[in-house]
Amino acid sequence: MIRFLKGLILLPVAIVVVLLAVANRQPVTVSFDPFSQGAPAFSLTLPLYALAFAAVALGILIGGCGAWLGQEPNRRERRLRGREIDRLRAESDRLRNAASLDRPAALPAPTGRV
């Protein structure tokens, strides 16, 4: 069911992306030199769709890094809780082993009801 829903959503998105790439094949010049208008020292000529896809990819990368950095408190808390769980398990095992050595294996005799 999930696979079907993914296909239902991603297929139209893929069609739109392909149509965008076919419709925007004209080359554009991207200049990284703000001081030279005529012949910029740092410029790149590429199709418009490649520029748009690169901008989207860069946005996804920056957003992913931001989300990862924003989750640091959760990861720290999870690490601390994991250490606490390990410490408590070790203590529980130690107490269980100590109690099994002190106590006989049989159950105690039942006491009378009051």
Give residue 96's pLDDT: 87
Nearest residue to 63 via CA among 55, 73, 51: 55
pTM: 0.60
Q: Are 52 and 24 in contact (CB under 8 A)?
A: yes
Matching residue, tokens 């199709």 = 47
Q: What is the pLDDT of residues 31-89, one digit of tens each?
A: 888 887 777 788 889 999 899 899 999 999 999 999 999 999 999 999 999 999 999 99
List, in order, residues 6 or more apart from 48 with CB less than 8 Å away: 24, 25, 26, 27, 28
Alpha carbons 84 and 77: distance in angstroms, whole number: 11
